[in-house]
Amino acid sequence: MGVEPKKIIEVKNVRKIYRMGNEKIYAVDDISFDIYEGEFCCLLGSSGSGKSTLLNLMAGIEKLTSGQIIMKGQPIHKMNETRLARFRQKYLGFVFQSYNLIGTMTALENVELPLVFKRTPKKKRKTMAKEMLVKVGLKNRLQHKPKEMSGGQQQRVGIARAFVAKPSIVFADEPTGNLDTKTTMEVMNLIREIARDNHQTIVMVTHDQSLAEYADRVIRILDGKVQSIETIKEETNVEEENNGVVGDTADSNCVN
Amino acid sequence: MRISDLIKMGLRNLSRRKARTGLTVLGVIIGTISIVIMVSIGIGMNNSFDKQFMENGAMTVIRIEQYGSIIDDEGNWLGSKEQVLDDNLVDMVRQVDHVKAVAPVLDTSAMLYSGKYETYISLRAIGHEAFAEFGYPELISGAYPTAENNRSVVIPSYVLENYFYNPNSRNYETVAIDPKEDELIFKFNEWRYVRNERKKEFKLDLTNVAIMEESDNWEHNSYVYFDMDYYKEIYTQYANTLKLEDRKKAMAELDTYSYIMINVDNIKNVTQVQEDIEALGYVTYSEMQYLEPLKQTSDMLQMVLGAIGALAMMVSAINIANTMVMSIYERTKEIGIMKVLGCLVKDVKKLFLFEAAMIGLLGGIVGIALSYLASFAINKYGGPLFQTLMQSSGVYDVGDAKFSVIPFWLPFLASGFAMLIGVLAGYFPARRATKISAIEAMKTDS
């Protein structure tokens, strides 16, 4: 990573308050941090810590109560629906925990979907989607419907869909939450590889400490606040150093 | 989204719930059939209605009759009034607005003889101008009377072909007479007035005969026409052959007319002119007068038919709306995902509107196809039922009339309407779909 990395997401004093009857719930309470271009950033926190809300705020899916979120120099929190949609088309990709593939569409059509919304010409988007599916190792599954594939394969389709439009930022919300350990590793490596190849920024939300080691930086969230931000040392092979790193960085902080 | 992608996605969504889409489309089909059939029956009824009244006489003609019938608003006959129709009245009527032509008419009965054959005829004397002004039928031969030559006598071909019989034969079979070959003798009725024995009986040898072609209007077919001036001339000659006391009575007949025909410039003004003349103290008659209440009944019936059709269409509109709402509930998560993946709000709306419009259009097209079948069946087998229905609205002579007529514009109108119903019914559900938040995609339960 360079000496002066470029900020791609700036989160400034962001608050999200839910009202439940007379009670105010500070789901995100005055959080500030930056995410740099090309980095793999992990928002780590237990369930209910506010990490998912934070991700939703960053992606413009939820409106924040106060503060600012600047993405690629543009204020996300001020955008209307249409501008947000166009921003998502251009710069954002999403990987979901439950894959969120459209059941009636084949793998190929699912991957094409973001390009369809973007009005990419038919031929071009077919080629792009195919390339992407080949890259995630689903060469033989192009015409399969989600139901005909395993969880790991579905998530690969999800990843292909997230990356197909070459977004600058990909948000991943518990991308391995429904997968077994082996598949988790495959999927995580896949995300990291693709992102690295294209110098894309990943923002991943997880409660699983063992996933944090795939990241360049881990931001721990607890009760709506940033507890710590840790930069993980540049390493070559995460799998090998697996146990050591996690043992060091993850204490009892996130046990909940 | 591109239009082609929108269409593809919309059709895919419709086809993934085939049973539900099919049932909703069925609703629209029924709605379309009922509207098209009801309208077509209304049009068919109107057609036979107009046809029937065209046969009875020109719609712009008003008559003031010597014995005027008093008719109430519903067309019922209440009684009659004797009124004096003289030249004075003719002049007054000429002054009324919108009156295009006025013609006094003298009707009487007379006899025609041709060899051993004879017939009673109704004789009608009118001014020679009236033949053109009141649209009398074409002539097969000869010419209508003119100012210069008013001695032409117009006989309908119908009279020539169907009236003459031999009074001495056993079965009174009628024969056709050809005035070019057969002689034609005209006489006034003998029994009305007593002839002066010393004078020779009045007889007129008709040599200048014009033959009128057969007309749809029964009135044209059943009279023999004389020019008014010529008639007065021969009538005076005839009166001179009568006994003195009868001669005076007979001549008095020329002073008052049987009725006065009035032609109005436009069908819309007929009622107005009638009111104006009635303000002068005379009872008038027109076909319109009968037509008006009947037309109202017929319009009413058409409206009821239309309302039944519209009702069925409304039910199918609700059906479409329901289907779309259900579909949106089912696809909440999908819509959320689409939004997260960058789908524009207006594309979501378009997608749902398209689906609703497709249901409408599909139902409309199939409905129209079936309507043609139904219309055919009604015309072929629906006779007894529709005869009764039409008689209740004043059309008696249905004959070979079509009960259901689908004009060329009706299918276009109906399919357009069905599609419009679809779009309208889909509008609020579609708006609802746009309000679904992208956060639905982030929910993990499902």
Cβ within 8 Å, pair A92-B437: no
Q: Report the alpha-carbon distance of residue A19 to residue B434 in Å, rounded.
A: 24
Nearest CB to B345; choose among A62, A82, A174:
A82
Under 8 Å CB pairs connecting chains A and B tally to 72
Structural tokens at position A98? 């439950």
Contacts of A216 (CB under 8 A, 6+ apart): A1, A39, A40, A41, A231, A232
Give the count of beta carbons closer than 10 Å to the beta carbon of residue B354.
Answer: 23
DSSP string, B185-241: EEEE-TTTSPBPTTSPPP-EE--SEEEEPP-SSHHHHTEEEEEHHHHHHHHHHHHTT
Residues of A in contact with B333 (CB under 8 A): 100
CB B426 within 8 A of CB B357: yes
Give the count of beta carbons closer than 10 Å to the beta carbon of residue B68.
Answer: 20
B380 contact A CB<8A: no
Average the pLDDT over each of A18-27, B57-66, B132-141, B317-326 and give the range with the smallest value.
B57-66
Q: Distance, in angstroms, between B345 CA and closest chain A CA?
A: 7
Give tens-digit pLDDT for A55-114: 999 988 889 899 999 999 999 988 998 999 999 999 999 999 889 999 889 999 999 999
Rounded average pLDDT over B345-365: 92
B1 contact A CB<8A: yes
Nearest CB to A117; choose among B16, B342, B444:
B342
Q: Report the alpha-carbon distance of residue B298 to residue B288 in Å, rounded.
A: 14
Q: Distance, in angstroms, between A204 CA and closest chain B CA?
A: 13
Nearest CB to A89; choose among B342, B437, B442:
B342
Q: Which residue has the higher pLDDT, B248 or B56?
A: B248
Residues of B in contact with A50 (CB under 8 A): none
Average the pLDDT over each of A191-200, B9-18, B257-266, B357-366 and give the range with the smallest value.
B257-266
Which backbone phi and psi does A90 adopt, to 5 degrees? -85, -45
Q: Distance, in angstroms, between A32 CA and closest chain B CA?
A: 23
CB B313 within 8 A of CB B36: no
| Of B428, B378, B417, B419, the residue nearest B401 (C-alpha) | B378
Q: Report the alpha-carbon distance of residue A51 to residue B284 in Å, rounded.
A: 93
Residue given tokens 């005027």 in the structure block: B68
Q: Report the alpha-carbon distance of residue A237 to residue A241 in Å, rounded.
A: 7
Cβ within 8 Å, pair A117-B338: yes
Q: Which residue has the higher pLDDT, B400 or A109?
A: A109
Q: Is B16 exposed, middle or buried (0-12, 13-18, 19+ CB in 10 A)?
A: middle
B7 contact A CB<8A: no
Mutate to test the interface with B, among A47, A63, A117, A171 (most CBs of B within 10 A): A117
Is 90 exceeded by the pLDDT of residue A153? yes
B133 contact A CB<8A: no
Residues of A with CB under 8 A from a CB of B: 52, 56, 59, 61-62, 81-82, 85-86, 88-90, 92, 94, 96-98, 100, 102, 104-105, 113-114, 116-119, 122, 161, 165, 173-174, 177
- B101: enclosing H helix or E strand: strand B99-114
B18 contact A CB<8A: no
The upper half-sphere exposure of residue B398, i.e. CA atoms within 13 Å in the direction of its Cβ, equals: 20
Residue B371 sits at the vertex; the CA angle it makes with B365 and B372, to the nearest 5 degrees, is 100
Residues of A in contact with B446 (CB under 8 A): 98
DSSP string, A7-44: EEEEEEEEEEEEEETTEEEEEEEEEEEEEETT-EEEEE
Average the pLDDT over each of A228-237, B104-113, B283-292, B345-354 and give the range with the smallest value.
A228-237
Residues of B in contact with A62 (CB under 8 A): 439
Show the domains of chain A with their CATH numbers: 39-60+78-249 (3.40.50.300)
Residues of A in contact with B340 (CB under 8 A): 59, 61, 88, 94, 100
Cβ within 8 Å, pair A104-B333: no
B232 contact A CB<8A: no
B444 contact A CB<8A: yes
Average pLDDT for chain B: 84
Q: What is the pLDDT of residue A240?
A: 44
Cβ within 8 Å, pair B442-A117: no
* Strand ordering across the sheet containing A169-173: A92-95, A169-173, A201-206, A40-44, A217-222, A225-231
pLDDT band of residue A188 (cuts 50, 70, 90) is: very high
Give tens-digit pLDDT for B69-121: 777 766 677 777 788 888 888 888 888 888 888 888 988 888 888 888 888 88
Rounded average pLDDT over B279-301: 78
CB A137 within 8 A of CB A155: no
Q: Distance, in angstroms, between A18 CA and closest chain B CA?
A: 15
Q: What 3-state DSSP class applies to B376?
A: helix
Nearest CB to B334; choose among A62, A102, A118:
A102
Q: Distance, in angstroms, between A197 CA and closest chain B CA?
A: 22
Cβ within 8 Å, pair B342-A85: yes
| Of B286, B325, B301, B412, the residue nearest B361 (C-alpha) | B412
Is 50 exceeded by the pLDDT of residue A244? no
pLDDT band of residue A256 (cuts 50, 70, 90) is: very low
Give tens-digit pLDDT for B416-438: 888 898 899 999 999 988 888 88
Cβ within 8 Å, pair B341-A104: no
CB B25 within 8 A of CB B367: no
Average the pLDDT over each of A2-6, B268-272, B323-327 and give the range with the smallest value.
A2-6
Is 80 exceeded by the pLDDT of residue B386? no
Cβ within 8 Å, pair B442-A81: no
- Render the burial of A179-201: b for 16+ CB within 10 Å, e for the rest: beeebbbbbbebbbebbeeeebb
B343 contact A CB<8A: yes
Q: Report the alpha-carbon distance of residue B119 to residue B30 in Å, rounded.
A: 60
Q: What 3-state DSSP class applies to A252?
A: coil
Cβ within 8 Å, pair A94-B340: yes
Residue given tokens 């792009």 in the structure block: A128
Q: What 3-state DSSP class applies to B105?
A: strand
Secondary structure tally for chain B: helices H, strands E: 14, 15
**What amino acid is encoded at A237 in this protein?**
N
Q: Search chain B and give the residue with CA nearest A89.
A: B342
First to last CA, chain A: 33
Cβ within 8 Å, pair B441-A89: no
- Render the burial of A126-147: b for 16+ CB within 10 Å, e for the rest: bebbbebbebbebeebbebbbe
Q: Report the alpha-carbon distance of residue B265 to residue B60 in Å, rounded.
A: 7
Pairing of strands A66-71, A74-75: antiparallel
Q: What is the pLDDT of residue A3?
A: 57
Cβ within 8 Å, pair A94-B341: yes
Cβ within 8 Å, pair B444-A174: yes
Q: Search chain B and give the residue with CA nearest A82.
A: B344
DSSP A234: P
